[in-house]
Amino acid sequence: MAASRSTFGTLLRAWRDRLSPADAGLTATAGRRAPGLRREELAQLAGLSVDYVLRLEQSRAKNPSAQVVGALSRALQLSRPERDQLYRSAGLLPPQDGTVSTHVPPGIQRLAARLGDVPIGVFAADWTLVWWNTLWSALHGDPSALPAGERNLARAFFGNGAARASLYPIRSERGQDASETSIVADLKDAVSRYPSDGRLERLVRDLRAESGVFARHWATQTAAAQHVSDRKTILHPEIGEILLDCDVLIVPGADLRMVTYTASSGSSDEGKLDLLRVTGGRTAAARP
């Protein structure tokens, strides 16, 4: 077991050293002594504390959870074989085929990182948010402030936990009912393709118990359109209403959805998005 933990820390350091800040969507500052990520940058990307990452690298932290290992593998942009190696070095079984994958291929992460002027969130087949950029956090609030199990769009729409409480008010041009039925349709499709996924089964069971609206949509036999592109008005607590085009892009071969938000060129909404880009949504209210 000691050798396994040592291997885990060694792998973290080696893969952190090889990942460039640019590929991770970070700006490389002057005076860097190494081309790779700093420890605090990896911690930020994975949603962990710097001290915990340090203890993992030094083999002082014991038995990282599957959620932690998954977050680190995504932050480090590991290939699937490398991801599986990291799981095994932590004494865990890698994610099995036949379950909803939260793995984001390195190429998709690099692509999304280079589109830093667009809010981007990457979702698994069960609408779990598995990757996001800084502008997504500025637009929707920081997902890392939520427990990992609450970073799910279906829980935000229908649940009664932290995800629901953190959701900014959103109006869809397609209507609230259309948005709700689309999310439920996506979950039904996921259940049909991943019948043995225990996490997905728990998600549906929880939402049927917590939300009468979800239970009604789930019981409806009429086929509904899956989640597609839309125009949405988001009531941001700092800048007020902002109207954006929301596009849902399917990642072939990975069963992921990349959700992007853009504003019409020259519009006041484009100016608001620029303000979020500069301020991160934290100081916009103080501006005239």
Q: Would you report the helix, strand and coil content of the chain in percent, each value rounded to 5?
A: 50, 15, 40
Which of 264, 286, 244, 275 shows the shortest CA–CA distance to 120?
244
Q: How far is CA 83 from CA 70, 151, 247, in A?
A: 8, 21, 29
Which of 33, 65, 39 shows the shortest CA–CA distance to 54?
39
Which of 246, 248, 266 shows the shortest CA–CA distance to 258?
248
d(CA 127, CA 136): 15
Q: Where in the chain is the domain with CATH 1.10.260.40?
A: 2-89
Reported residue count of the chain is 288
Cα angle 74, 228, 126 (rounded to 5 degrees) comes to 40
Joined together, the tokens standing for residue 6 give 């040592």
Q: Where in the chain is the domain with CATH 3.30.450.180?
A: 106-286
Task: List, for the chain, all residue ranges whose pLDDT scores fall below the cut of 50.
Answer: 1-3, 5, 283-288
Q: How many CA atoms lie within 13 A of 256 on its CB side?
A: 21
- What is the pLDDT, as a whole number, of residue 1? 41
Superfamily of domain 2-89: lambda repressor-like DNA-binding domains (1.10.260.40)
Cα angle 79, 65, 155 (rounded to 5 degrees) comes to 90
d(CA 237, CA 241): 9
What fold does the segment set 106-286 form as a domain?
A: Beta-Lactamase (3.30.450)
Q: With a threshold of 0.85, does the pTM exceed it?
A: no
Joined together, the tokens standing for residue 166 give 């953190």
